[in-house]
Amino acid sequence: MYNLGACYANGRDVPKNFVKTIELFEKAAEQGYAAAQGALRACYSNGQGVPKNLVKAEEWFEKAVEQGYQPPSEF
């Protein structure tokens, strides 16, 4: 689900569709997939596909970190 959500986010082999992206990321995140939880943090932090909500962003990030998620390094 996460990978398909990423395809919709990037328009890879499917039309870009952030509503579908969020739907798929949330399904994967609710099943405990840490990368999807981390991706939702970014979506909620930036208001991408959802209204900007820093509280929800932090909630998803905390769930991801509890599972050992490490965000990508920024250069």
What are the pLDDT digits (tens) for 13-53?
999 999 999 999 999 999 999 999 999 999 999 999 999 99
pTM of the model: 0.87
Q: Supply the pLDDT for residue 35.
A: 94
Distance CA(62)–CA(53), nearest Å, equals: 15
pLDDT band at 75 (very low <50, low <70, confident <90, very high): very low
DSSP 53: -
How many CB atoms are located within 10 Å of the residue 1 CB?
A: 16
| Alpha carbon distance 29, 33 (integer Å) | 5
